[in-house]
Amino acid sequence: GNDMYACGLDGYPKEIQIAGRLYTQKKLFKHDFFAGTGLFELKDPASISNECPLRIVLKFNRNRSFLFIPLRWLGVYLSRHEMNILKRLEDNPFVPKLLGPYEKCGLMYEFIEGCSLDTKPQLPDTYFDDLQNLLDDLHKQNICYIDMNKRGNILIGEDHRPYLIDFQISLYLPRHWSGFLKHAFQQEDYYHLLKQ
């Protein structure tokens, strides 16, 4: 039923606005219990700017109750959590560029041109070395990615470089007391990198 989907069966937006510019939905990547994620394109390409790129991704987290249990708080939390991670990584060109929140439960980021490893693309010889360097950079900023087991979250861009998306379950663990936990999660990242 409707409750099984984050936005309800018909609740994921068909159009959205950023800075007064209209975007229309081009593709719904995924809509499950926790979030709906889709690709939107600027209706008037002549109005492209830094704030309004041609294509964006909208991730709309849970905003519906489930079995009469209110869960909008979860969508608000997940959205804020992922935005905080992306803000910490705003100088890293190989993660999504955050554009801002969407209502209370969503976030928008710039679309990365390329494809995921799920599509079994041809990879350059340096790809996995570059991916390890990207993971190293995240770890130096006290971030544990945690989702390296999902090939759909690992992209190869049009520049043949690796990109990571979906930081919903990633963790920022800067404190001394979290050292053991951070080490364990980061070793898990490397383990899944080797498996890939």
Q: What does the pLDDT look like over 34-47, one tens digit per residue?
A: 899 999 999 998 88
Q: Average pLDDT of the chain?
A: 93
In three state form, how does the secondary structure of 20-53 look? CEEEEEEEEEEECCCEEEEEEEECCHHHCCCCCC
Q: Could you tell me which residues come within 8 angstroms of residue 185 by beta carbon, excluding any fewer than 6 positions away?
A: 144, 146, 171, 173
* Alpha-helical regions (H) of 48-117: 72-88
Q: Per residue in 76-98, pLDDT tens? A: 999 999 999 999 999 999 999 99
Number of Cβ atoms within 10 Å of the Cβ of 58: 24
Four-residue CA torsion sign, 66, 25, 152, 48: negative
Q: Residue 83 in contact with residue 14, Cβ under 8 Å? A: no
Both structure tokens of 33: 């219990």
Q: Which residues pair with 110 in a beta bridge?
A: 56
| Backbone dihedral angles phi then psi of residue 121, each to the nearest 5 degrees | -75, 165
Would you place residue 1 in the very low, low, confident or very high pLDDT band (cuts 50, 70, 90)? low
Q: How far apart are CA 142 and CA 40, in angstroms?
A: 32
- What DSSP character marks residue 170? -
pLDDT at position 64: 85
- Cut 0.85: pTM above it: yes
Both structure tokens of 45: 């390409």
Does residue 19 register a pLDDT over 90? Answer: no
Q: Could you tell me which residues come within 8 angstroms of residue 133 by beta carbon, excluding any fewer than 6 positions away?
A: none
The strand pair at 98-102 and 162-164 is best described as unpaired
Does residue 74 register a pLDDT over 90? Answer: yes
Would you place residue 3 in the very low, low, confident or very high pLDDT band (cuts 50, 70, 90)? confident
Residue with tokens 């470089």: 161
Both structure tokens of 116: 């995921």
